[in-house]
């Protein structure tokens, strides 16, 4: 509970909270020039205490930036994992914040950011409305749009379709890879970047967007599409013939709310094709939902501990396998320095239970859990609420998980894979090649029956 002071009484209200593991892409955290863009979360209902001023100060707080500042203070006061608040006098900080005058929300936002910075935790962060909107899209693994992947063609500098998503309005309308988008709702795209084009295409479900398309074999034409709620793919998979081996290669990009069901589909469809083993690629995966990581771990693990979380009061929540693994075929997991958070939970559980061989480089090292709240003005707040530990109980924060087999990639190889991601999971990918070599050395039973539950 929050202690009462002389000016305020407190009451409980229900607010929307989001529990997640990664509140920014570790790439952008390490490389400051990159904008942090990816967020992963799951919506829950949680009680928080919010201050209600007495009559002498009520008018000053209602509908003011000061109310937002105090809203943030209250949530941090109730949830932040460090009850010492990094040696900040948190009660005094509140009085200091409320004594200031804020002429607009920008000043309030600046005060909030500085206050959170004093906590010394890079994952406790304030999100402006646009950032929070991006978070909710990533949280659900969905967005309102037409289901299309875009790029800027290097040779023509034109906005170009990479591919339409399966069962999306774009696919149903016949949009094809390689199509050039010349206009979006009559706005020329020649000077748009990917983010600007995406903003123009996104909109409310049921509304229309008009694209002017150029296709090599026909004249320029218009396509009118109706926006739908689009499920974003988190999992990609292929069947690779590697000598005598049939290998199921699965790339997991993030732990969204749809990741587990997509992973189950990938395991089942690959298993139905009589594979010899799996390669699970977690490289570049910044993390995601706690329960998504646990659920996916259970698909690979028949028994054993997965992860435990410890909150500010010492409460310890433990997650274990539930005896419902989908496969026991040999497994190699690929990781790198950008495999973070929920990726580290999955990799750590599979490694420490000796279910998989982990290949690559040391992981990012993020051992904390965040809660994200929507605020009254549409902005958001991420607060670190717990620490997590792999089955061994070791603290991986800022340390990461070391692979069983270290395989470094040269700068040239990294650039090649970044420029052409289709090379991932091929013979042009040194870490994947090492994974195949490991599978070839393991005792494989290509005829083993697999039960999918």
- Separation CA 52–CA 7 (nearest Å): 9
User: Which CATH number is 9-138 given?
Assistant: 3.30.750.44
Can you name the CATH fold of 235-373+385-441? 2-enoyl-CoA Hydratase; Chain A, domain 1 (3.90.226)
Active site residue 341: yes
Digit-coded pLDDT (tens) for 331-376: 999 999 999 999 999 999 999 999 999 999 999 999 999 998 999 9
Extract the runs of DSSP E, i.e. beta strands, from 21-81: 42-53
What pLDDT was estimated at residue 63? 52
User: Does this model's pTM top 0.85?
Assistant: no
Residue with tokens 């393991």: 442
Instruction: Report the pLDDT value the prediction gives residue 22, as an integer from 0 to 100.
Output: 39
| Predicted local confidence at residue 451, as pLDDT | 36
Token pair for 109: 């936002």
Q: Is 366 a catalytic residue?
A: yes
Q: What is the DSSP string of 275-323?
A: -SEEEEE-TT---B-HHHHHHHHHHH-SSSEEEEEEETT--EEEEE--S
Q: Residue 440: pLDDT above 80? A: yes
* C-alpha distances in Å from residue 117, one per residue of 85, 125, 410: 11, 8, 35
Based on the number of CB atoms within 10 Å of its own CB, is 184 exposed (0-12), middle (13-18) or buried (19 or more)?
A: buried
Does the domain made of 142-231 have the CATH classification 3.50.50.60?
no
pLDDT at 444: 60
The residue annotated as part of the active site, out of 341, 371, 374, 379, is: 341
Q: At what angle do helices 65-79 and 90-99 cross, to 10 degrees?
A: 170
- Please pick, among 366, 371, 374, 434, the residue that the annotation labels catalytic: 366
| 8 A C-beta contact, residue 206 and residue 226 | yes
Comparing CA positions, the residue from 404, 250, 255 lying closest to residue 341 is: 255
What integer pLDDT is reported at residue 1 of this predicted model?
A: 22
Taking only the tens place, the pLDDT of each residue in 265-282 is 999 999 999 999 999 999
Output the pLDDT for position 49.
30
Q: Is 104 exposed, middle or buried (0-12, 13-18, 19+ CB in 10 A)?
A: exposed
Q: Which residues fall within 8 angstroms of residue 354, CB to CB, at 6 or more apart?
A: none
Number of helices (H) and strands (E), helices first, in the chain?
Answer: 13, 21
Residues 6+ apart with CB under 8 A from 412: none
Q: What are phi and psi of 206, to 5 degrees?
A: 95, -10
| Residue 299: CA count within 13 A, CB half-sphere | 22
- Residues whose CB is less than 8 angstroms from the CB of residue 273 and which lie 6 or more positions away in sequence, other chains included: 239, 246, 248
**C-beta separation of 406 from 431 below 8 A:** no
Distance between CA 40 and CA 135 in Å, rounded?
7
Alpha-carbon distance 151 to 197, whole Å?
10
- Across the range 127-154, mean pLDDT stands at 84
| Residue 259 near residue 290 (C-beta atoms within 8 A) | no
Query: Domain-by-domain residue ranges, the chain?
Result: 9-138, 142-231, 235-373+385-441
**CA 195 → CA 204, 316, 418, distances in Å?**
17, 41, 19
């Amino acid at each position: 509970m929050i202690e009462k002071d002389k000016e305020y009484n407190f009451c409980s209200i229900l607010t929307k909270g989001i529990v997640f593991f990664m509140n920014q892409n570790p790439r952008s955290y390490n490389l400051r020039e990159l904008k942090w863009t990816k967020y992963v979360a799951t919506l829950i209902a949680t009680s928080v205490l919010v201050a209600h001023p007495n009559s002498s100060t009520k008018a000053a707080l209602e509908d003011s930036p000061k109310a937002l500042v105090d809203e943030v203070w209250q949530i941090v006061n109730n949830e932040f994992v460090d009850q010492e608040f990094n040696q900040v006098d948190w009660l005094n900080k509140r009085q200091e914040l409320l004594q200031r005058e804020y002429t607009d929300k920008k000043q309030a936002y600046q005060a909030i950011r500085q206050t959170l910075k004093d906590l010394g935790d890079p994952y406790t962060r304030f999100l402006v409305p646009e950032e929070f909107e991006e978070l909710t899209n990533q949280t659900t693994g969905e967005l309102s749009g037409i289901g299309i992947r875009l790029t800027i063609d290097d040779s023509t500098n034109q906005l170009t379709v990479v591919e339409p998503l399966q069962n999306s309005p774009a696919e149903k309308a016949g949009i094809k890879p390689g199509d050039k988008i010349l206009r979006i709702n009559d706005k020329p795209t020649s000077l748009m970047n990917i983010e600007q084009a995406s903003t123009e295409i996104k909109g409310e479900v049921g509304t229309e967007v008009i694209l002017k398309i150029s296709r090599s074999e026909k004249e320029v034409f218009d396509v009118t599409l109706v926006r739908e709620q689009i499920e974003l793919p988190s999992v990609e998979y292929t069947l690779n013939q590697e000598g005598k081996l049939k290998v199921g290669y699965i790339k997991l990009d993030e732990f969204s709310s749809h990741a587990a069901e997509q992973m189950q589909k990938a395991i089942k469809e690959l298993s139905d094709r009589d594979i010899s083993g799996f390669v699970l690629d977690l490289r570049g995966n910044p993390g995601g939902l706690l329960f998504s990581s646990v659920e996916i771990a259970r698909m690979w693990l028949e028994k054993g501990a997965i992860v435990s979380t410890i909150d500010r009061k010492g409460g310890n929540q433990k997650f274990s396998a539930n005896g419902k693994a989908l496969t026991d075929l040999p497994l190699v997991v690929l990781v790198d320095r950008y495999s973070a958070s929920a990726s580290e939970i999955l990799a750590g559980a599979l490694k420490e239970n000796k279910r998989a061989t982990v290949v690559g480089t040391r992981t990012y090292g993020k051992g904390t859990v965040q809660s994200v709240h929507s605020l009254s003005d549409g902005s958001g707040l991420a607060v670190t609420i717990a620490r997590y530990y792999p089955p061994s109980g070791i603290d991986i924060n800022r340390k990461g998980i070391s692979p069983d087999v270290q395989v470094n990639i040269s700068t040239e190889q990294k650039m090649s894979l970044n420029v052409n991601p289709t090379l991932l999971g091929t013979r042009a990918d040194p870490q994947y090649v090492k994974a195949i070599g490991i599978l070839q050395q393991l005792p494989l039973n290509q005829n083993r029956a697999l039960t999918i539950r």
